[in-house]
Chains A and B, each alone.
Chain A
Amino acid sequence: MSVVSDVAITPEPESVRSTRRSGSVLRDALSLWRTRIGLVLMIALVLVASFGPFFAPYSPADFAGPPFTAPNSAAHLGTDYLGQDVLSRFLWGGREILVMAALATAFGLVFGTIIGMLAAYSRNWLDEVLMRAMDVILAFPQIMLALVAIATVGPKAWLIVLAVGLTTLPRVARVTRGAAQPIVERDFVAAAEALGVPRIRILGRELLPNIMSPLMVEMSLRLTYSIGLIAGLAFLGFATSSNGANWGTMINQNRIAVQAQPWGVIMPVLAIALLTVGTGLVGDGISRAAAGIDRGRSTG
Chain B
Amino acid sequence: MTDDRSAPDVPSIVVAGLRIELTGSGRDVVDDVSFTINPGQVMGLVGESGSGKTTVGLALLGHARRGVEIVAGSVRIDDVDVLALSEEQRRPLRGRVVSYVPQDPAAALNPALRIGTQLREVLEAHDFGANDGDRRDRVAEMMREVALPDDPGYLRRYPHELSGGQQQRVGLAMAFACRPRLIVLDEPTTGLDVTTQAHVLNTVRDLAGAHKVAALYVSHDLAVVSTLAERVAVMYAGRLVEVGESSELFANAAHPYTRRLVGAIPRLAGSRELIGIPGRAPSPGSRPRGCAFESRCAFVEDACRLELPPLRALDEGHMVRCLRAEEVRAHPMPFAGEAMAVSMPHGESVLSVQQMSAGYRGVTVLHDINLDLAPSECLALVGESGSGKTTLARSIAGLHAERSGRIVLHGEELVELARHRSRESRRRLQYIFQNPYGSLNPRRTINQIVRQPLEVFGIGGSEANARVDEMLERVSLTAAYASRYPDQLSGGERQRVAIARALVSRPDVLICDEVTSALDVSVQAAIVELLGELQKSLDLAMLFVTHNLPLVRSIAQRVAVMSAGRIVELGAVDSVLLQPSDDYTRRLLADTPSLEAVQS
Q: Which A residues form the contact surface with B (CB < 8 A)? A: 1, 3-11, 15-16, 19-22, 186-188, 190-197, 199, 205-206, 209-210, 212, 296-299
Contacts and interface: CB of A to CB of B under 8 A. Distances in A.
Interface stretch (B61-69, B89-97, B272-280, B584-592): B61-69
A20 B488 CA distance: 11
19 contacts: A1-B386, A6-B545, A7-B193, A8-B517, A9-B191, A9-B437, A9-B517, A11-B435, A19-B443, A20-B487, A187-B439, A188-B440, A191-B433, A191-B439, A206-B441, A209-B441, A209-B444, A210-B442, A299-B65
Given A191-B439, A194-B398, A194-B418, A4 B388 contact: yes
| Interface residue SS majority, chain A | loop
A10 B518 contact: yes
Contact of B547 (A5, A8, A20): A8
Given A4-B388, A194-B397, A19 B442 contact: yes
Contacts of B387: 4
Given A4-B390, A299-B22, A196 B437 contact: no
Interface string B393-420: 0000111000000000000000001110
A20 B365 CA distance: 37
Contact of A5 (B163, B390, B430, B545): B390
A125 B344 CA distance: 49
Contacts of B66: 297
Interface in B521-568: 545, 547
Given A188-B438, A209-B444, 5 more contacts: A6-B513, A11-B437, A193-B418, A194-B397, A196-B423
B453 interface: yes
B426 interface: yes
A82 to B, nearest CB: 55
Interface of B: 22, 29, 65-68, 103, 163-164, 187, 190-191, 193, 284, 360, 363, 365, 385-391, 397-399, 417-419, 421, 423, 426, 430-431, 433-435, 437-444, 452-453, 456, 485, 487, 491, 501, 513-514, 517-518, 545, 547
B442 A195 contact: no
Contacts of B423: 196
A141 to B, nearest CB: 35
B443 A209 contact: yes
Q: Please classify the interface of chain B as helix (H, G, I), strand (E, B), loop, or mixed, using the class held by over half of its residues.
A: loop
Contacts of A11: 435, 437, 491, 518
Contacts, number: 127
Contacts of B452: 192, 195, 197
Nearest to A209: B443
A187 B394 CA distance: 11
Nearest to A299: B67
A7 B441 contact: no
Contacts of A296: 67
Given A10-B103, A20-B487, A299-B67, A191 B365 contact: no
Contact of B164 (A7, A196, A205, A209): A7
Given A4-B365, A8-B190, A197-B456, A299 B441 contact: no
Contact of B518 (A5, A9, A206): A9
A299 B29 contact: yes
Contacts of B437: 9, 11, 15-16
B170 to A, nearest CB: 17
A196 to B, nearest CB: 5
Contacts of B501: 191
Contact of B190 (A10, A22, A190, A199): A10
A7 B385 contact: yes
10 tightest Cβ-Cβ pairs between the two chains A and B: A209-B443, A6-B390, A19-B442, A187-B439, A8-B517, A11-B437, A187-B438, A187-B433, A3-B360, A188-B441
Contacts of B103: 10
A195 B365 contact: no
A24 to B, nearest CB: 10
A161 B92 CA distance: 62
B391 A194 contact: no
A9 B438 CA distance: 10
Given A16-B487, A19-B442, A190-B433, A195 B426 contact: yes
A261 to B, nearest CB: 55
A10 B514 contact: no
A299 B49 CA distance: 12
Instruction: Please indicate which of the listed interface residues B67, B452, B501 has the most CB atoms of chain A within 10 Å of its own CB.
Output: B452
A131 B155 CA distance: 41
Given A1-B386, A21-B442, A21-B485, A6 B514 contact: yes
B456 A195 contact: yes
